[in-house]
Amino acid sequence: MTPLAALSIVCVIFLIVLLFGHPLSFTLGGLAVIFAATLWGNVAALNLFMRTATSLCSNIVYVAVPLFIFMGTILERSGAAEDLFGSMYIVFGKMRGGIAIATVVMCTLLAAASGIIGASLTLMTLLALPSMKNCNYDLDLATGTIMASGCLGTILPPSIILVIYGAMAQISIGKLFAGGIGPGLLLSGLYLAYIIIRVVFYPDSAPAITSEEAAKYSQSQKLLMVAKSVLPTLILIVLVLGSIMFGAATPTEAAALGCVGAAFIAIGKRRFTWNMIKQCCYLTMKTNAMIMWIILTASMFTAVFLGLGGGELINELVNNLQINRWLVLIFILFLLLVMGMLIDCYGVLLIGIPIFGPIVTGLGFDPIWFAVMFAVMIQASYLTPPMAYAAFYVKGVAKETGHELPIGQLYRASFIFLGLQIIALVIMSIFPGIVTWLPNQVY
């Protein structure tokens, strides 16, 4: 059987099984075993999976994943996020669009402190959505802001996406973290600019909080609230990212340091209890197990795909196109977006990196720059129907709080912010220094 025929069978069966709704890890792992034993035609190829598992378990970089998750869960359970939103609400709420602005600012800080997307989306749906609905915000603006801002953790360090990318592509995680700061702030700035422009043209879409509520605190009280809520988070961010970028610690050591810093924040909030630690450990183990299973099974599936000649076939296809390299890049980014609409972001990472990484590097693009562009596409996939994970997060959490949100409305709310992400990609392409300047300066 030719590689083209074998790979066509692999892709068709994979899509059919995936559309039946089976868990991604079992789909990838099960099909990898079946394809290795049949299409590859050699049962001995199954030994490759043992080596894949051994390599995964012995890679120390992956230790950073559960540590960053644990740090994020402690920060979430410590009450620091609620205090942070409370201070942002009072400071920005007195202006039109203020709660939406506070949401973007808070999500940016949360992303830089924990990097866990689910936690940011859940918290902001619980905290910001009721406040915006009470102020009669336009629902598309409210939900779109929460969904887009809550996904900033895919790009801003300590992004778990970037940790896994660095481990898979053998790229310095410190350089990836440095490269993610500029684009993350760029996206955050674009969201803020959109909110401000929208409020200028449609003032009633984002009213301010009542004057009585705004006057509840004096100026000194507001400053104290901001200092008490923002400073601990900023110190944690500097502790983690600074130790990596200045060479004082590896990403794994910095993640452990972040856990200690988050624990001190919880102690300061008087939330550091045995029950909280037990819940954080449970959530960390559950999330880490899910991620590691997907990494293992996606690695198995990718090994079979490459073993059947998939890498050579795609490389040959690209080389024979004889078109501008930017058109090839656009096509690859589009494929990543489509993949993200169908499978989990970790599956996209593990399948996309070995296939597209060598092609992009061969075309002469900077690997750090492409890694961040890859992360932006993963963030975009969180907002892209039909499998817009951010929409399902917000819908599920909102339902638990008594706010029923139609999925169609959430889809509609995501389109404007998808457009802003495309604008960010264009800006990063025209000015690649947004990504590459800081890594070059630090390293």
Q: What is the residue-level pLDDT of the chain in tens, covering all 443 positions?
A: 666 677 777 777 777 776 676 776 777 778 777 777 777 766 666 677 777 777 777 777 778 878 888 887 887 777 777 777 777 777 776 778 888 888 888 888 888 877 677 767 777 887 788 878 878 888 888 888 888 888 888 888 888 888 888 888 888 888 898 898 999 999 999 999 999 998 888 888 888 776 665 566 666 776 777 777 778 878 888 888 888 777 778 778 888 888 888 888 888 878 788 888 888 888 888 878 877 887 787 777 777 777 777 666 766 666 666 677 888 888 888 888 887 777 767 778 877 888 888 888 888 889 999 999 999 988 888 888 776 778 877 887 777 667 777 878 888 888 889 999 999 999 999 999 999 998 888 77
Residue 43: predicted pLDDT: 62
Please state, in angstroms and rounded to a whole number, the distance separating the CA atoms of residues 427 and 396.
Answer: 34
E strand or H helix at 134:
helix 117-134
Residue 425: predicted pLDDT: 92
Residue 319: predicted pLDDT: 65
Please state, in angstroms and rounded to a whole number, the distance separating the CA atoms of residues 403 and 418.
Answer: 24
Residue 60: predicted pLDDT: 76
CB-side neighbour CA atoms (13 Å) of 170: 3
Supply the DSSP symbol for 249: S
Supply the DSSP symbol for 58: T
Please state, in angstroms and rounded to a whole number, the distance separating the CA atoms of residues 114 and 76.
Answer: 9
Tokens of 236: 């944690």
Q: How many residues in the chain?
A: 443
Residue 336: predicted pLDDT: 84
Helices (H), 269-366: 274-307, 310-321, 325-342, 345-362
Alpha-carbon 276 to chain mean position: 25
Residue 400: predicted pLDDT: 67
Q: Render 210-230 in DSSP notation, one character per residue.
A: PHHHHTTS-HHHHHHHHHHHH
Contact 360, 370 (CB under 8 A): yes
Q: Is 31 exposed, middle or buried (0-12, 13-18, 19+ CB in 10 A)?
A: buried
- Tell me the pTM: 0.81
Please state, in angstroms and rounded to a whole number, the distance separating the CA atoms of residues 384 and 373.
Answer: 16
Q: Render 385-441 in DSSP notation, one character per residue.
A: SSS-HHHHHHHHHHHHTT----HHHHHHHHHHHHHHHHHHHHHHHH-THHHHHHHHH
Tokens of 58: 């012995």
3-state SS of the chain: helix, strand, coil percent to 5? 80, 0, 20
Residue 257: predicted pLDDT: 86
Please state, in angstroms and rounded to a whole number, the distance separating the CA atoms of residues 133 and 99.
Answer: 10
Sign of the dihedral defined by the CA atoms of residues 305, 307, 312, 315, in that order: positive
Contact 198, 145 (CB under 8 A): no
Residue 41: predicted pLDDT: 64
Residue 428: predicted pLDDT: 93
Supply the DSSP symbol for 204: G
